Structure 1
Amino acid sequence: MIPDSKVPHAIAFSAPHKQAADIGLTVLREGGSAVDAMIAAAAAITVLYPHMNSLAGDGFWLIHKPGAAPRAIDACGCAAQLASIDWYHSQGFKQIPSRGALATVTMGGTLAGWQKARDIAAESSTQLPLSRLLTPAIQLARDGVLVTHSLAAASRKVQAEMAEQAEYQRVFMPKGRPLVEGEILTNPDLAATLNTLATQGLDSAYCGELAAHIATQLEQLGSPLRLSDLQHYRAQEVKPLSVQTRFGQCFNLPAPTQGVASLLILAIYDRLFKPEWDEAARVHGLIEATKLAFLVRDREVADPRRLSERWNDLLDDAHIDQLAAVITERALPWPQVAEPGDTVWMGCVDSSGTMVSFIQSIYWEFGSGVVVPGTGLVWNNRGVGFSLEAGHRNALAPGYKPFHTLNPAFALLNDGRRISYGTMGGEGQPQTQAALLSRYLYDGRALDDAISRGRWLLGRTWGDNNHDLKMEQDLVDLLGNNLRERGHALKAVPARSEIMGHAGAVVSLGDGNAIAASDPRSDGVGVVGNVVATMQERAQ
């Protein structure tokens, strides 16, 4: 059943911070589009969660209009033209530094992604002015936000690493110490930057006076990025990847993201699943599917120009069947090297039924730690994903994109439901997506229970360097003995631990109603509402 775009749809928004969700829902209530609402919330959450994302980070979009094919946007920043293996080797580096100016290797693509999304939305609807969308974020940056537990913890964690970052300390350690939960944090420079974007357009970050200022400051700090890199950057519309399961079609982003791994986990699990399985068997199946998907990902995912001849066959039935046949009741050996990441995911549906699944990130907590003077912008350190080894699958090269953990997800179900879902959490993103979707669809759990129930994490997540199988204590208490008998070595972590990521989902039902949920491990909420004003009414 295909949702009718003429039937009024309930509006809904899910975000890992309540204020961001409320801002998004307010735009939807005013009759704004899903893209309008997402940009307003995305701008706000860069202020509310500065340790997780930034206007100088990366972003990815999945946009679905009822009756049409999903459309995807890749707003991943590419490496500077001056950034090369020899450039780093000549300065004595065998790997790209994780912090400081030499970590600012790649463009921040998220603003270009916002513009590309606006261009797509403008094909079928009138867009609200940027000034309306960015005003809430401007006010938050100017007047201050309440420091959350998550932000305070990240501030404490990176204190030593940021000792040499003067502008970081000025903005994010205004009292000469890490941030404390409950105090107010302002960023007037970021408010001014947002105001420039609102008045001069999003492109001003790449081609205007703002771009020239950013480039000058980065060069003076020692970054390889130059104004020409900003001027030539473009976000790209790309064809999403998809797989078919018994419940419907699942979509995700192509390389350089790990979207292929997210889809492989679901497809392998769909092949294996038996309704009579108990919960331990279901979790075991998902963990084992994850291992195989990660092995494929680590061998195959890279800049799109470096993909192997096998790439187009990775989601074919024959390959999925081959992978599924490897899984038995015994756990496969692990670990493998994993990838970290700091990210926000948000999703929404507007009154026309258009849905968005969106993710943006600066990679590690506070990214490179470089705050561009006079802008309040925290620059990403996504370039850490490059290798300085010639011939490596992800070798650094000018203009190339690094491997990305980011991958927003979307599902178009046979019964007419559509699901926008995702999470932050590095390696945990594909696993949490699979846990969420399998619990909701295969286990029949309520959406909020599917998200809040105890989770596991194979490999490394944000703020963590271990590659083991971590499991929240409440799930260990329930399933631990059974899983250990199958050969899993478990490490218990506290229940509802933030290392398991901040998941969320919005479901548009076939009858036009909607439900939304957000992770209790975050500061977020899923909100559903009604439209109180249309674009035409506001114009009168």
Structure 2
Amino acid sequence: MMKHISLFLFAASIMLSTTAQDRLTGHGHATRSEVIAQNGMACTSQPLATQIAIDILKKGGNAIDAAIAANAALGLMEPTGCGIGGDLFAIVWDAESKQLYGLNGSGRSPQTLSIAYFKEHKLSKIPAYGPLPVSVPGCVDAWFELHQRFGSLSMQEILNPAITYAENGFPLSELIAYYWKKSVKLHAHFPNVTDTYTTNGTTPSKGDIFKNPYLADTYKQLAKQGRNYFYTGAAAKTMADFIHEQGGHLSMKDLANHRSEWVKPVSINYRGYDIWELPPNGQGIAALQMLNIIKAYNFKPDEFASARHLHIVTEAKKMAFEDRAQYYADMDAQNVPVKELISEEYANKRRALIDSFKAGAYSAGKISEGETIYLTVADQWGNMVSLIQSNYRGMGSGMVPPKLGFMLQNRGELFSLNPEHANALAPGKRPFHTIIPAFVTKNNQPVMSFGVMGGDFQPQGHVQILMNIIDFGMNIQEAGDAPRFSHRGSSDPTGNEALNKGQITIESGIPTSTIMQLTKMGHSVGYAPGVYGGYQAIWFDQQRKIYIGASESRKDGMAAGY
């Protein structure tokens, strides 16, 4: 008997020495440890971009410089989710003034495009691709606004790393290569797509070296001439002429009139933490609305992924998204009742409608009044940046202006063609936006800069990350690695009824017992891969003066510090 036991133990020891072992610390779902550093931290969805940010920090640049440099690199290396043809939003913690600053870098619709055009052409919806959904790209102006207010290095120094990679090439990472092939196949019939995003007609695969000399030249001109090259100079003329040739409406005047807007972030308090989002035209306040409803329910650490957890979050989401569909819009064109929507009083009224044991259906409350990249950087002086940037549907509209190296966004698709809708298309109006950066403070001190990319999922992602950390006691890497869930089915922001009403989709890792209980409560539940976004975060430990970084295990990204 002892001989058999010895043989078993010997075999077990061999297995342990030749296979990966389970993690000895933390939650079982964690993929890796957090990254911890004293002087600076960068977390992006592409390792080379993360390294560029760290190099900028080591060179003496601050978090804002590094964030712009990383975003420029991602426009080259991950054009499947971002680029200078898209928009940008950011929240900045400025260590000197000890304040948060919000930047809305979203572009507006063409001045000559109205609902009447679509009626005249018998179109019931704004197309997803082509020239018609193109709105003014706001990213470049946002870079220069951030740089003018907070930057320290020159734009030449900031853009140089991306220029070098664009000229000399970089190897594609795995997930980006997957989306790159799909995107090029989707858009190949449009002009200049193959010329810009393939190598002699061949779409690059994982590990292939890709160069984008057109984008290198565009970045060089931005470094040399500034934002005006893009909005009033040669690039603007190329964009406007190309879109006109394709039958679109974006003009030199539209580009020349564009300016980003500094806005005041808004917040609610969740169990002692102040959670900050930007006001509409983005959907950030949906996360605040959800948290305001949820915070009246106490959760124990072992209730993660329980039926009660998923049920309460889902019911809060349904309510917030009904309000989102009815009220969220460009605040320059619409009186959005932000203060009331995120108030305690309104949350109390909405919460009273929830049945703790049964799935509900809700309409918007009565008020008295696609892909993306997310990155975050922190520096040795205590500055922190939460930045999100996108072209909307993956690469964007399919419209690639000749020899500029990027695709224009299709964010205008999100406008409603119902003239009574808050988000109705109008000339010179900013569309509803899905991309939202977030920030957390406590006692007026920075705690965490974070974001979760992924279209409509983003407010749900913000809520789940925060609950994982605050309610369920996870560290910031575990909080991102934990299995996620998503409710799909509320009305969309264009006012069109969604095709899929009321299903909770889940990742593997949610217990079968939870699924069974949710089904009994009246929820439809199903597995669905790939719809849960991508996450980066930096936590600042005020007492020990250290940064803790985390990066999304579902993407190609990396957190690094020094």
The answer to whether the Cα contact below 8 Å between 1:32 and 1:128 also exists between their aligned partners in 2 is: yes
How far apart, in 1, do the equivalents of 2:220 and 2:322 lie? 45
Q: Which residue of 1 aligns with 2:521?
A: 486
Query: Contact 1:348–1:355 (CA<8 Å) still a contact in 2?
Result: yes
The corresponding residue for 1:536 is none
Aligned partner of residue 319 in structure 2, secondary structure: helix
User: Residue in 2 aligned with 1:411?
Assistant: 440
Q: Distance in 2 between the 1:391 and 1:491 partners? A: 35
1:167 aligns with 2:192: yes
- 2:155 aligned residue: 130
How far 1:409 moved relative to its partner?
A: 0.3
Aligned pairs, how many? 509
Q: Does structure 2 retain, via aligned residues, the 8 Å contact 1:272–1:324?
A: no
Q: Quick check: 2:391–2:411 contact (8 Å CA) kept in 1?
A: yes
Q: TM-score if structure 1 supplies the norm length?
A: 0.89
Is structure 2 residue 313 aligned with structure 1 residue 286?
yes
Which 10-residue stretch deviates more, 403-412 or 299-308?
A: 299-308
| 1:191-340 correspondence runs (5 A) | 191-275=216-300, 278-279=303-304, 280=306, 281-308=308-335, 310-333=337-360
Distance 1:466 1:173 in 2: 36
Runs of 5+ in structure 2 lacking a partner? 1-36, 365-369, 491-497
Q: Is the contact between residue 264 and residue 320 of structure 1 (CA under 8 Å) also seen in structure 2? A: yes
Q: Identify which of 472, 475, 495 aligns with 2:510.
A: 475
- Contact 1:300–1:311 under 8 Å retained in 2: no
Whether 1:101 aligns to 2:131 is yes
Please state if 1:509 is matched with 2:534: no
Quick one: structure 1 residues 324 and 250, their matched pair in 2 at CA, closer, same or farther if it must change by over 3 Å?
A: same
| Unaligned 5+ runs, structure 1 | 1-7, 530-540
Q: Distance in 1 between matches of 2:111 and 2:349?
A: 41
Following TM superposition, by how much is the alpha carbon of 1:333 offset from its aligned partner in structure 2, in angstroms? 4.0
Q: Does the Cα contact within 8 Å between 2:176 and 2:556 map onto a contact in 1? A: no
The SS at the match of 1:457 is strand
Aligned residue in 2 for 1:22: 51
Shift of 1:417: 5.2
| Alignment partner of 1:55 is 2:84 | yes
Contact 1:288 1:331 in 2 (8 A): no
Overall identity of the aligned pairs, in %: 29
Report if aligned partners of 1:212, 1:227 keep a CA contact under 8 Å in 2: yes
Asked whether the 8 Å contact 2:375–2:451 carries over to 1, the reply is yes
Alignment-mate amino acid for residue 509 of structure 1: D
Q: How far 1:172 moved relative to its partner?
A: 2.1
Judged with a 3 Å threshold, the aligned counterparts in structure 2 of structure 1 residues 417 and 68 are, in CA distance, closer, same or farther, namely closer
Tell me which amino acid in the other structure corresponds to 1:302.
A
Give the drift of 1:331: 4.5
Structure 1 476/335 Cα, relative in aligned 2: closer, same or farther at 3 Å?
farther
- Secondary structure class of the residue paired with 2:192: helix
Tell me the distance in 2 between the aligned counterparts of 1:232 and 1:306: 16
Find the aligned partners of 1:172 and 1:466 in 2 and give their Cα distance: 34
Amino acid at match of 1:82: T
Aligned to 1:19, the other structure's residue is in SS state: helix
Q: Which of 71, 75, 88 is the matching residue for 2:105?
A: 75
Match of 1:432 in 2: 461
Shift of 1:170: 2.1
By how many angstroms is 1:485 displaced?
3.4
Q: Is the 8 A contact 2:214 2:404 kept in 1?
A: yes
CA contact (8 A) 2:279 2:338 kept: no
Deviation per CA, 1:362-403, whole angstroms, max 9, x where unpaired? 000110011110101210000000122322222111110111
Secondary structure at the residue paired with 2:556? coil
Q: 1:144 aligns with which of 163, 169, 173?
A: 169
Bigger Cα displacement from structure 2, 374-383 vs 290-299: 290-299
CA distance in 1, matches of 2:198, 2:362: 37
Give yes or no for the alignment of 1:344 onto 2:377.
Answer: no
- TM-score (norm. length: structure 2): 0.85
Partner SS state of residue 60, structure 1: strand
Bigger-Rg structure (1/2): 2
Q: Does 1:520 align with 2:550?
A: no
Whether contact under 8 Å (2:184, 2:193) holds in the other structure is no
Cross-structure match for 1:188: 213
Aligned-partner Cα distance in 2 for 1:176–1:11: 41
The CA RMSD measured in Å over matched residues stands at 2.4
Distance 2:362 2:527 in 1: 16
Contact 1:415 1:510 in 2 (8 A): no
Does the 8 A contact of 2:388 with 2:435 survive in 1?
yes
Cα separation, 1, equivalents of 2:88 and 2:446: 25
